[in-house]
Amino acid sequence: MESVCPVSDRQRESLKMAMAWRLPTQLPTPGNLHHYDSKTLSFPASLSWCRTLAPDHLLPSSSSSTSTATGTHTRRFMKCRARAGAGAVNLAPGTPVRPTSILVVGATGTLGRQIVRRALDEGYDVRCLVRPRPAPADFLRDWGATVVNADLSKPETIPATLVGIHTIIDCATGRPEEPIKKVDWEGKVALIQCAKAMGIQKFVFYSIHNCDQHPEVPLMEIKYCTEKFLQDSGINHVIIRLCGFMQGIIGQYAVPILEEKSVWGTDAPTRIAYMDTQDVARLTFIALRNEKVNGKLLTFAGPRAWTTQEVITLCERFAGQEANITTVPVSVLRVTRQLTRLFEWTNDVADRLAFSEVLSSDTVFSVPMSETYGLLGVDGKDIVTLEKYLQDYFTNILKKLKDIKAQSKQSDIYF
């Protein structure tokens, strides 16, 4: 399609060298992490592959013996060594990269596009890693970002995209329809290893709030393990845990209310501190430039935590419209999950439904932000509240709807 990135011949040569020399030398390193292909395993077992990744559980001999004992198909993962003795050194110490060159992984997503916009606006040179697809992400190119094609699930496509990159911002998540492990775990591990081998100087990773407390939810478990993996890798990194995006509310509640469709609500008492993705992007770049934040784990939460009921009420108020709420008891969600588990091919659906466990178990999905604000030097008043966000959204959309209605009057003659 287009050239992946401006790689000079010399760089390409050294890249090849790295691929030829460095990566294989790491493969036989002892102390590899193991993980079992969860295809053949039931859910609790697949939990263990993740847990063994945590270094405190790491006992090479015993874990390898269990793997052989169970006789399951094992896949080997190299561990990124924190102590750089045999591990990766900077690929090309003589070729400094510009600190403004960043790579955004998952740039087409809800958060990713805000990250790209913010970065471009602040004067970064942004490269976006997107999967090759028939309908290319033209909007990223229109904004002035460089788009490179690669797929995290195909590790061999990754290294070329990292040439000349200073910072990686990773906001990718697998699509609901594909196996969760493919991108969220294997892809991330490959990316982090590659970043380490190629001397990437900073890595920003987005995780989920409280992911360490919910090992039963696959996505959260994977995020937690990735956090651990990144911390062990020795790369300069910032881990940002998020609670929920305001943008998600639009599709889930606001649009159905406007279209007078039924809204799926739960009676769960969970409260989520929604946050505007633009604020997330803004805070991310402040954190990125702050050396004090290096290696820290931050949690970004919105100014207030909301229950589903409160959000729906708020939407109703701004829309001036009653919502048809179909309340689903959390217990039903749980039963659905048990049912879907029966069918192996719907494993991912079951995994995603497992999120309902979190909904029922956790009452507040939020965290006090004053410390983070202080660390980043941000005024909490600048963070958009959900009321403000929804009010702006509904004002805009109702105005647009009015315009469309005014236009449609003229076409009434056709009816």
Applying CB under 8 A, the residues found at the interface with another protein are 2-3, 98-100, 117, 120-124, 138, 141-144, 146, 278, 285, 289, 382, 384, 388-389, 392-393, 396
Residue among 152 and 376 whose Cβ is closer to another protein: 376
Residue among 16 and 98 whose Cβ is closer to another protein: 98
Beta-ladder partners of 365: 272
Q: Which residues contact 173 (CB under 8 A, 6 or more apart)?
A: 106, 109, 183, 184, 219
Distance CA 282, CA 406 (A): 38
Residue among 268 and 293 whose Cβ is closer to another protein: 293
Beta-ladder partners of 128: 104, 147
Closest approach, Cβ 308 to another protein, in A, equals: 22
Closest approach, Cβ 388 to another protein, in A, equals: 8
Distance CA 106, CA 171 (A): 5
Residue among 141 and 175 whose Cβ is closer to another protein: 141
Closest approach, Cβ 143 to another protein, in A, equals: 5
199 token code pair = 């001397």
Confirm if 307 and 314 have CB atoms less than 8 A apart: no
- Burial code of 150-176, b = ≥16 C-beta within 10 A, e = fewer? bbbbebebbbbbbbbbbbbbbbbbbee
Residue among 261 and 388 whose Cβ is closer to another protein: 388
Among 168, 175, 105, 169, CA closest to 140: 105
Q: In a 3-state reduction of DSSP, which class is residue 61?
A: helix
Confirm if 367 and 273 have CB atoms less than 8 A apart: yes
CB atoms within 10 A of CB 23: 16
Q: In a 3-state reduction of DSSP, which class is residue 209?
A: coil
Closest approach, Cβ 150 to another protein, in A, equals: 18
Q: Which residue has the tokens 């053949």?
A: 40
Backbone angles phi, psi at 163, to 5 degrees: -65, 130
Closest approach, Cβ 9 to another protein, in A, equals: 15
Among 31, 33, 22, CA closest to 87: 22
Residue among 72 and 161 whose Cβ is closer to another protein: 161
Closest approach, Cβ 112 to another protein, in A, equals: 15
Closest approach, Cβ 309 to another protein, in A, equals: 24
Closest approach, Cβ 288 to another protein, in A, equals: 9
Residue among 83 and 381 whose Cβ is closer to another protein: 381
Residue among 141 and 317 whose Cβ is closer to another protein: 141
